Amino acid sequence: MARHISFGTPVNDAERWAFSLLSDELPQDYLLLTNVEIPTHSGQAMEVDALVVGQWGVYVVDVKGYIGRLNAGLHAWSLDGRDVDNSLSKANYVARVLAGRLKHKIPVGVYAPWCQGMVFITGRKGEEILVEKDQGNLSIYTPAKIIEALTKEWGLTAPRKHQVTDVQKEMVLDTIGQVAIVEQRNQKIQDFIKLKCLFLQQGLEVWQSEYNPGGWTAPWLLKILVNGQFASQHEAEQHEVKLREEFKRMQSLSGCSGVPFCAPLIQDGEQLVLPIRMPRGIPLNIFEVEQQSTYQLLGILRRSIVAMQQIHRRGYTIGGWASNCVFLSDQGDVEFIDIKDNLTVAEDIAQYAKAFVNLAEQTQQPRIYHWYRDAAKGTTIDLDAMRCDLSALIELGVCDTLPQKITIEQGCIIDHHFLLEHFISSTEYSQLWQAKHIQGNYPCAISIYKEVDEQWLTLSNIYRSLSKIYHPHIEKVLSFGQLPESRELFIARAWAQGVALDEIAEIEVGQPFTWFTQLVNALQYLHSIDIYHGAICPKNIICHHDTATLVNFGIGSDIAQIHYAARYADPTLWDVEGDAEKDLYGLVASFIDSLVPHELISDAGAQGIVDALMQFDRQWLGEALFDACLKILKFEFRVEPNISYTQQLGLTDKD
């Protein structure tokens, strides 16, 4: 794209189209002066359509919008048989005048650049024109050849060809006079000064500019429509309607986060301008995500969701999700400069998630990036849940500022809050530690689980729910998340006093009934809010005197497989049972497996656990509890809505 300086207004569509073509196609080191006047010795000035200062010479270009068959000779021209003016003769004369002016200004030891005339026949925007030249070297060209003629050595008519130097270019500008002033005038729209063109296509331009009313400056963007540069008037009108609608949207969204301020439209007859305050930060496509801390990324994500929610609540959607139209800053600012309102809310959220999923993954927080992955697929549109999660992570400080892989060992600090003190037990995929909350100085338990990334969505939903509810026989969740630079999950829970069900040394009469009814009531509560344990086994039941607590929801399946799992159940029945029935079966089987000596369990299958139950003393276990366990083990129990489990199982009367 050439450096274009307009000294006047094009007089017709042919000139306007020609100037646009030359400006777009000529190299960037070329200078294009349009509707410029060449001074003469007599003091008069001759206007030329275009003056091109190029690599090989200075070209005086006369633009003609002839349509039809043009026969051009050295002296006479005809268009479809009618005589027309010889434009090349005029252009050559002006070129000789300019060359004479340059020779008078030339300093000693410097040659004047070659000046020559040239005619550009445009036809109807490059079509419907045929040029026949009596002599092939006449400088008369159509759009197919004009750029080559101006940029290649063969287009020069000089007997000796030399490239134009920077000193010679400055001589041309000095001869024309006031070029810098004219260029500055062209770059100014009211108090806005255009600095850099960011986008140019037909009649649509986007400029980086500054607002300079005097005494101070501020950065702005200018969206400019130049009506004369569109292919048709209808197309120009369509773009004008779109720009006016964009202005109305931005005015309606004034005050919303993420929406930059815009000034009133400027219209001066030739162009329509929408000034928009320059967004803070840099575009998303060049934002260095890897250089940001976890908290900075979380802040950006939270502000982006808040901004989008505010826009949606005013009845608009963003739509303009190109990465160069979303601006981010290190301070967490998020702004959108292309609010199109052309999508549904669900589509807008999906496009938002696709644009920001890379940032979400960089946080190393599964509860965050799994939501963005799902939202990008269109499986969730719950912005409130994500905003709450982001706020919790930021305000509670549950993520690492600079994620580094943690070695699980005594003295290790998990999540800035929990100090591992005593190792308790482990399996192939899990570890259990006693820990201390550093700030609160109270004991707690930390469980570490490996390879749980694929289960994260389910686990996140379960533990987010558990962290917000309370039941005396359900583990109290303090925190959970993924360890940095790993695929390991940690869960911090309040320390549950007691031991696992299968480790109790002495069991008193009545304790199994008490524990069982407590846990059945706990399961009833959980199932009513769609939370299922899924891995009940003796190791996941902690007992202390007259209290039992369920732990390890949704995980610890490796523990369950070792100490109790579906291996006790009939596989055919197990596959068709519901989650609630499976939890109850696991609870009963865990009690039988723990209370009956292992040498009395003859079979590792479903019948073996039933036979083990039959060896209990019905009176010691309790008639009601015995019958309830047998009913569940035979898969004869069916959950009925709105009736408590204890009532359905006949466990309401302890006697």
The predicted structure's pLDDT at residue 373: 92
Would you say residue 534 has pLDDT above 90? Answer: no
pLDDT tens by residue, 376-430? 999 889 898 888 888 877 766 655 444 577 888 999 888 878 899 999 878 777 7
Give the count of beta carbons closer than 10 Å to the beta carbon of residue 234: 8
| SS (HEC) of 571-606 | HHHHHHCCHHHHHHHHHHHHHHHHHCCHHHCCCCCH
Listing DSSP states for 479-527 in one string gives EEEE-TTSS-EEEEEEPPPSEEGGG-S---TTHHHHHHHHHHHHHHHHH
Using pLDDT thresholds of 50, 70 and 90, give the confidence band for residue 133: confident
Give the mean pLDDT of the chain: 82
Separation between Cα atoms, residue 470 and residue 463, nearest integer Å: 12
Sequence-separated (6 or more) residues with CB below 8 Å from residue 168: 110, 111, 112, 113
Tens of pLDDT, residue by residue over 87-115, are: 898 899 888 888 887 777 776 666 788 88
Q: Does residue 7 have a pLDDT over 80?
A: no
Mean pLDDT within 163-189: 68
pLDDT of 565: 46
Mean pLDDT across the stretch 525-541? 85
- Rounded CA-CA distance 516/519 in Å is 5
**466-480 pLDDT, tens per residue?**
877 889 999 888 888
Confidence at 321, pLDDT banded by 50, 70, 90? very high
Task: Compare 39 and 279 and report the one with higher pLDDT.
Answer: 279
- DSSP state letter for 91: H
Burial (CB count <10 Å: 0-12, 13-18, 19+), residue 168: buried
Residue 304 pLDDT more than 90?
Answer: yes
- Distance between alpha carbon 188 and the CA centroid of its chain, in Å? 34
Distance CA 468, CA 399 (A): 19
Mean pLDDT is highest, among 244-248, 482-486, 596-600, 651-655, for: 244-248
pLDDT of 307 above 90: yes
Structure tokens at 236: 């120009």
CA-based max dimension of the chain: 130
Tokens 């300086």 belong to residue: 5
Rounded CA-CA distance 443/419 in Å is 10
Length of the chain: 655
pLDDT of 4 above 50: yes
Q: What would the pLDDT profile of 225-260 be if each residue is shown by its tens digit?
A: 887 777 788 888 888 898 999 899 989 998 888 898
pLDDT for the residue numbered 509: 81
What pLDDT does residue 655 have?
45
Question: Mean pLDDT lowest for which of 142-151, 173-182, 427-436?
Answer: 173-182
